[in-house]
Amino acid sequence: MIVENKDIATIVVQEKTDGRLYDFRIKFKKAYKDFNTQNIVLDMSKISRIALKDVMEFQEISDIHKKLSKKSFVIAVGVHPTFKLPESIVCAPTLQEALDLVEMEEIERDLGFL
């Protein structure tokens, strides 16, 4: 797992792209306390065969993060997901679009919309 701090968000990337997400989820949940007060972008866009269940594994932590920290939690899922994404979890096709969503949510919070 690679963690990179940007001005707008902490980006967490899975190092391997072989599709084995179990270790990544465990590592992420253990490290979450280190960046739980920041906007988080989970970059899963390099995973060759991402499935809906892979994204949904992070729904609970996403909901908790948004509710308790009042910060964004966005998942970059790649350009061609083969599933319909639920509205309850914020996803973007690329890392840049995920960062753009975080920036838009920050503006909405500043204006009192979120």
Boundaries of every domain in the chain:
2-110
The count of other CB atoms within 10 Å of the CB of residue 93 is 14
110, amino acid identity = D
DSSP result, 4-36: EE-SS-EEEE-S--SS--HHHHHHHHHHGGGST
pLDDT digits (tens, 9 = 90+) for 70-101: 999 999 988 866 678 778 899 999 999 999 99
CA quadruple 95, 96, 100, 106: dihedral, nearest 10: 50
- Position 91 scores a pLDDT of 92
Residue 19, token pair as written in the block? 């599709």
- Position 48 scores a pLDDT of 76
- Position 16 scores a pLDDT of 64
What span, in angstroms and rounded, lies between the C-alpha atoms of 104 and 108?
Answer: 6
pTM: 0.90
Instruction: Check if CATH label 1.10.3720.10 holds for domain 2-110.
Output: no
- Position 7 scores a pLDDT of 92
Please give the residue that has the higher pLDDT: either 34 or 19: 34
